[in-house]
Structures are given as C-alpha cells and as structure tokens.
Structure 1
Amino acid sequence: MTTTDMLTGALAAAARGWHVFPLLPSTKRPARPNHRERDCTGTDPRCRAGHTGWDARATTDQTRIRRAWSSNNPSYGIGIACGPSGLVVVDLDTHKPGTEIPEPWNRFGIRTGEDVLDHLAGARGGTITPTYTVRTPSGGTHLYYTAPEGVRYGNTAGTIGWLVDTRAHGGYVVAPPTTIGSSSYVVTDDRPAAPLPLFLLDLLKPQRHTTSAAAPKRFDARTDRVPAYVASAIKGEVAKVTSAGAKQHNHRLLCAAIALGQLVAGGVLDERTAYDALTDAARVLMARGCDCTPIEVDRTIRSGFHIGSRNPRTPGTTRDNSRKAA
C-alpha cells in the first residue's frame, strides 16, 4: 500500500470519530513515541510536560493526520486507539496448526474464535450483532463495537474464551488498509459500528444486565432512530405483549423477542433498542399484577433473541415460521 492509501484509510477512520496514530511500516508497533515511559528524557517535543504515549497522540484532527501520513514519510500503518475512540474491538483468532486445542473446545470441534464467540452467545441467549468487521492478515476477524457511555473497559486476552481477545482502554487495533508482510487488513463489512451486544456486556463486567421494577415508560419508536418499517414492527410487537391475556404473558414476550431478534440479526435494529422496548412492555404487565420477575423477563427476551438470530430478517424477507413453534 502507498502513503496515499494509508492517508485515505486514516482520514476515513477519523471521519468515524476513531482516533488514529501511525505504526512503523509493516509492523504493529507505534511509530511515535520511539521510547518507553521509563526511558523518557523529555526531549521529544510532545513529552516536555511529561511522557506522552501513543494513546494520547492518537487524533481525529485532519491536519495532524495529513502531516503524519505526508508524502515525505514512509508508508506508516494505521493504529486506532480504542479507548479514546469509544470502541471495544473483539479480536477473533484462528487455531494455529500444531498447537493444542483446549477443552471443551476440542470436544465441540471448534477451531476458530468466531465459533467460540458463537458458542458463548448461544449459551447466554445472545446475538452477535452485525457490525463493522475487518479480516486480519492471519485470517482472524476484528469486530468493532461501540462501548456504552460512562463505562470503561480494559483489554482481555483469552479470559472470555479461547481465541477471543478484546481491545478497549489502553489497547489499540491495526486498521485497514495496513499491510503486514504481504497481506493487508481488509474491511469485510463496512456498516457503522454497532453497540456492544448484551451477552458481551455480561462477560466484560460483573453486573448482570437486568431490568428494574420502576414505573413503565412509553417507548418512542421515532423514525429518526430506526427505519419506519422497523419502528412499526417494534410498536406491533410491544402492543402484542402489553395486550396479552392471563397466562399468555411469557409466550407473547418470547414470540415478540423472536420477531425483533430476527431484525437484530439482520442488522436493521439495535439489540438494546429492542431489549428496552420489550422490557418496557413487560413492566406494563408487571404493573398490572403479573407475577413474572425482572430476571425471568430478561431470560425470556434473551432466549427469544437467540432463537430469532437463527433466521435474520431484513427488508424484503418474510418472517420464519419458527416463531409459531416457540
């Protein structure tokens, strides 16, 4: 890749609000600073007030980006500082031939981080929400997700599952079209980064995502938040839940979660928007004396999302009959 290609890639990332910094050519190492904090002498212009690392140097400023990737410089790669960018990037690796496959993954016949993540999502009734996706030179995958506001995540290395790492505050990822050796990082899904899926929220922080028994709020499916047909689908499913008769509550909620889960899996509806709409509907039932609990509601919605994820639905597709068999 040429310097022009790298500049274009860096500016494109910055346009998404992601903070970028240069990497040494054909490596994953930051180009600046060229010293560690313990070796900082303060002679670097940006370290005169104290050591300034790559994360603090990362920027969205076009002038600084153009200067860093100018025609007078080598073809620096592109790093994205995840913390300042508000990202949690899930790094899915592949099994390296000749290395041992740990249990239970060997018993399950799982060989890739993608399959591990899919297994973890299924075990928690979750959905791997479609999002901005990059293929790495090693054949792995980077899934870019936006972190919830006010929540600070660190990095993980194999603690979620085998071949699954995450990069957040204090971490960075190599961005397209950076080349390492003879292979490049390539965008395979260019949609906006989606919010972090609920099952990953559970895995990355100790608090379980549950609802409160507070008074219900009215869900406002405004067309500036979701497409009109999606807003109509949300309103329709919410109405079915809130109008459920006695002893039909759980079944109606599950069916509604399956229907909206199909839209989530199709990439046209944010999982948290669907989740909040359904929990608001369930609160209406609880306010009327339904004996279901917030934990049961959470479990039913997640189960429905997982079932729905098997049959993604987008404009022009029909709803799968699996909903009737639930």
Structure 2
Amino acid sequence: MTQQPDTLTDTLTTALDYAAHGWRVFPLLPGSKRPATPNHRAADCDGTDAWCRTGHAGWEQRATNRPDWITRAWSSNPAYGVGIACGPSRLVVVDLDTHKPGSEIPEPWHRFGITTGEDVLDHLAGAHGGTITPTYTVQTVSGGTHLYYTAPDTTRRFANTAGKIGWLIDTRAHGGYVAAPPTTIGTSAYTVVDDRPPAPLPLFLLDLLTRDHQSAARASQDRSQDGSVHPARPMRPGGSGEPVRDQSAYVERVFEIAINGDAPRGVAGLLDADEGGRNAALYVAAATVGKLVARGLIAEHVALDRLMDAAAGHIATGAYTPYEAESTILSGFRRAATRSAA
C-alpha cells in the first residue's frame, strides 16, 4: 500500500497509488478536509458545471480511479489533499476518536476508565466474541485512528454512522469519505501507521452495523435496568416540551430550521442570508445545531460537514473562505456547549 510521501508534490503519486488499488479519490482544498469541488449546492446547480450536465454531481460522483482525471486534478494544484470516497471504493472505515478534555465521559466507559475509541472497540469486540482484525490503519490529525476494512460482498449499502456502534466510534461508507495521507491540516498530517492491505470487515462489526438498535434505544430512554438516570429526551424545536420519540426526525428538523429557516415562526435560515449578514447567519445556524452536538445527538464532525455543505454557496460567492466558515461553525458549537453547561 501507500507510504507517507515526503513532499506535497508527491500527493499526485499517492492519489494514483490509491486509484491503482481500486479506491475512488477526489481533491480536498489545501489545508482542509473539505472537497475542492463542487463549489455549489445541489439546489443552486444550473448545469453549467461540466460534471453537472446530466444532473448535479457531488464529491462522491466526482470521485474517480481514472489516472488521467487524477493527474489533471492534482497537476492543477499539488497542494490539494486527498479524499477517498468510501462507498464507491467498497470500504468501511471505522473512525476512532479520543475523549476531549472537559467533556463528559458516559457510562459504562467512565466506570471502566475508557477514554478512547480504540479501547471502546476493543471492549465491544470482547463482549461480542470478536477480534479487531489488523488492517490498513491511518492516524488522523486529531490523534484518532482510521481502520480501513473492505465492505462485505452483499447488496446491502452501508451508510455512515455516528456513535451507533459505541462512544467515540463513527463509520464511513456510502455517502461518506475520509481525508487520507498525505493530507495536511495546519502542522499535522494524516499518516499511515499500518500499511497492510485492508482486511474484510470483522463479523462482530458487521453484526453491530446491521443490527437494529432502535427498539432497544427507545426502551433504554424510558427505563433503566440499574436505576440510573434516564437519558434526556430531546424536545420539539418549537419548544412545546413534548418529548420526541424519533430522535433522527428531531435532528433533521433542527437542521431544516438552521439551514432553511421556519417562515411561519419568522425564523431565517442560513440560506436566506444576504450579503453582509452571511457570517452572522452561519454562526447562528452553528449555535442552533451545536445544541445537538452538546447533547450527544450527532457527532461534531458530521454536524460540521453538513453545515459546511450548506454554506458552500456562500463560500463560492466569496462571503468567507472554507477556513473562515469552519472557524465560525466551531465557534457556534462552542457557544452552544457553554450554554448547555450553564
């Protein structure tokens, strides 16, 4: 597999090497995890982009293993990072994060003294009689770990998950991508720490990804076997105080309001922002969505990705750079976390 390149000019060679292994790649903006293209939202697509002549093409549709397309893309800007589209590459990447200082450690992990996704995964493997098969492994810029596994040969299309398997564990598959070595953000780079070929997805992970946990999750919110405090149930965005039984629907409704607004209630969304007010609108949207992050209803990186996608149109007009947009969103998240802790 691919070794860590020494210079940015080696990124093209690395991208071509990934493609030779059948992985679909696309360029990331320099110093960022954001796709370099497209620079417009699906709702704003007018078909003038060559990729969009038969319909809007996002980063997943543009990901390729064609050497000529890859060469053309990275030759235009050797500083581009490398993104790998997991679904088209038949990969399931397990993203193992680390505990952020100052944030709460949930049970039972607090009781066990566990603070990393790697330890959570190891515990889950033991509990399910499985093993964590050694595989192609990357260290992320935040100190986490990406485990690359090949997706099972099945008609099932695995999607992304955020915390479904366990605390500090996300997965990327169809609809998801990973920044890959030698992508650099700030002074840190993604690096290969185990260069062996990706192993098949372990059976215990396959079971956890395909098992329907919805009934058990809902039951655990209503009662606890050991008498512990019940997890907080989200309230409706309108503030009625009525618990929402379907958390996914609640999350989507919050995003809908943050991005598109709520005209009957006179709430403006990110997309309604006019020139001069776009950065403020992005901050408000981030603070709104940040409540979901603070309550553990969605992973921070997933929320960040969705808001960055929503802000793509404003970025394209020069209202702010991708870096500025990301900084504003994270500021909104911090504001929401502070208010939630108060």
Q: TM-score, normalised by structure 1?
A: 0.62
The 3-state SS of whatever aligns with 2:84 is: strand
| C-alpha contact (below 8 Å) 2:92/2:171 kept by paired residues | yes
- 1:17 counterpart SS class: coil
Contact kept, 8 Å, 1:132 with 1:191, in 2: the verdict is: yes
**Partner SS state of residue 85, structure 1:** coil
2:56 partner SS: coil
- From 73, 79, 84, the equivalent of 1:80 is 84
Tell me what 1:21 maps to: 26
Kept in 2, the 8 Å contact 1:134–1:141? The answer is yes
Deviation at 1:9, TM superposition (A): 1.6
What letter matches 1:135 in structure 2?
Q
Could you tell me the percent identity over the aligned residues? 75
Aligned position for 1:32: 37
Matched residue, 1:89: 93
Could you report, residue by residue, the CA deviation over 1:181-208 in whole angstroms, capped at 9, with x for unpaired residues?
100000000000000001001100038x
* Residue 32 (structure 2) pairs with residue 6 (structure 1): no
**Residue in structure 2 matched with residue 192 of structure 1 by the alignment:** 197
Would you say 1:142 and 2:146 are equivalent positions?
A: yes
Q: What secondary structure does 1:142 align onto?
A: strand
**Alignment correspondent of 1:178:** 183
- How far did 1:74 drift? 4.9
Q: Unpaired segments of 5 or more residues in structure 2?
A: 1-5, 213-342
- 8 Å CA contact retained: 1:131, 1:144: yes
Match of 1:131 in 2: 135
Instruction: State the partner residue of 1:274.
Output: none
Per-residue Cα deviation, 1:127-159 (whole angstroms, up to 9, x for no partner): 000000000011100000001112310000011
Map 1:140-289 to 2 at 5 A. Answer: 140-150=144-154, 151-206=156-211
- Secondary structure of 1:69's partner? helix
Q: Is the Cα–Cα contact under 8 Å of residues 42 and 49 in structure 1 kept in the other structure?
A: yes
Aligned position for 1:229: none
The 3-state SS of whatever aligns with 2:175 is coil
| 1-structure distance, mates of 2:44, 2:111 | 47
Aligned-partner residue type, residue 94 of structure 2: V
Aligned residue type for 2:106: P
Residue equivalent to 2:47: 42
Asked if 2 retains the 8 angstrom alpha-carbon contact of 1:55 and 1:170, the reply is yes
Provide the C-alpha distance between the structure 2 equivalents of 1:74 and 1:148, rounded to a whole number of angstroms: 34
Maintained 8 Å contact 1:77/1:174: yes
The question of whether the paired residues in 2 share the 8 Å contact of 1:2 and 1:75 is answered with no
State the shift of 1:49 in Å: 1.0
Pairing partner for 1:101 from 105, 111, 114: 105
Alpha-carbon distance change, 74 to 190 in structure 1, aligned in 2, over 3 angstroms: closer
Secondary structure (helix, strand or coil) at the match of 1:145 reads strand
- The 1-side partners of 2:78 and 2:23 are apart by 22
* Residue ranges of structure 1 left out of the alignment (5+ in a row): 208-326
Retained in 1: the 8 A contact 2:11–2:78?
A: no
Structure possessing the higher radius of gyration over alpha carbons: 1
Distance 1:190 1:199 in 2: 23
Alpha-carbon RMSD:
1.2
Instruction: Give the SS at the match of 2:88.
Output: helix
Distance 1:118 1:203, change over 3 A: same
Query: 1:58·1:81 contact (CA, 8 Å) conserved in 2?
Result: yes
Match of 1:113 among 117, 121, 124: 117
Maintained 8 Å contact 2:9/2:78: no
CA distance in 2, matches of 1:55, 1:138: 24
1:2, 1:55 → 2: CA distance? 26
TM-score by length of 2: 0.59
- Give the drift of 1:3: 4.1
Asked whether the equivalents of residues 86 and 146 of structure 1 are also in contact (C-alpha less than 8 Å), the reply is: yes
SS of equivalent to 2:64:
coil
